Amino acid sequence: MRTFTGQQTTLTHGDQHATIAALGAALREYTVGGRDVVLPFAADELPAAYHGMVLAPWPNRLRDGQYSFGGQELQVPVSEPDRGTALHGLVCWQEWTVESHTESAVTMALDLAPSPGYPFRLALATTYALGDDGLTVTTVARNAGADALPYGVGFHPWFSPGGSDLDHCTLQLGAASRVTVDERLLPVMDAPVDGAFDLRSPRPLDGIAFDDAWVDPIADAEGKSWCRLWWTDGSTIEIWADAAATAWQICTGDEVPGVRRAGIAIEPMSCIADAFRTGERLVTLEPGESHALTWGMRLV
């Protein structure tokens, strides 16, 4: 019997187990030693709030669903009517296919067909791989068409608070600036982090609500930026991303139906909201060119 979220692919490495759903190439489950690292959802359940999905060819919000590129004025469907935005791209509600699969890794592929609002041919492949250092995720995008195309990518895991309330968890993110937003949660300007938005040192989440982006990530010697979520038992989820992730979005889900602080979305992104309009941190792929972003997580 076919599940609501399509084919399910299970990965195993030691005490780590992950399940990838075909719908949105979503990370449906990831456990370490039987503990949920991400909030799981059922195979026959519509994922709440883009849970675990790949977000492309743009992450986050696009004002009015309108943008200009290559001399064309383009319109994609508005998927967030309350704010009048097109949210999280075009591939999260499509079924990806399994390109290759081993016991500990799977590559999911999707060829995004041209459409009136995105008249380009984009080939995507996302690989999930379990190893001694946890779960690593790589998305490669290739321009399979004859014209240049705009591109951005993000990821939307909802992380578990470890069996306690999110208010009892502590968060740290290495980023020097945050993005201020308007009433539609669209970018206004970058600003130095301060107050509750300064997450360079660990900060308790008690009473703090976020649906915000951070930029200017602070890289380690390997070029990775890091976000860490501490549980009350001292365990830590460490999330990292390579230099292709120029931004991080964090959402506590206070106003999100189906979530409401049950977990926290920590989203590495290649660009922030509205990049198709502003051009900020936007990737332009010429015919035949590729872009890759790699990120991962581990429970320590």
Q: How far is CA 221 from the centre of its chain?
A: 23
pLDDT digits (tens, 9 = 90+) for 176-186: 999 999 999 99
Q: What band does 258 get if pLDDT is binned at 50, 70 and 90? A: confident
- H or E element: which one contains 152? none
d(CA 85, CA 78): 5
Domains belonging to the chain, first-starting first, are 8-299 (2.70.98.10)
pLDDT at 48: 85
d(CA 8, CA 43): 8
pLDDT digits (tens, 9 = 90+) for 12-47: 999 999 999 999 999 999 999 999 999 999 999 988
Task: Please check the confidence at residue 2 and state whether its pLDDT lies above 80.
Answer: no
pLDDT at 129: 99
pLDDT at 257: 83
- H or E element: which one contains 68? strand 66-69
Q: Is the distance from CB of 164 to CB of 257 less than 8 angstroms?
A: no
Give the three-state DSSP class for 174. coil
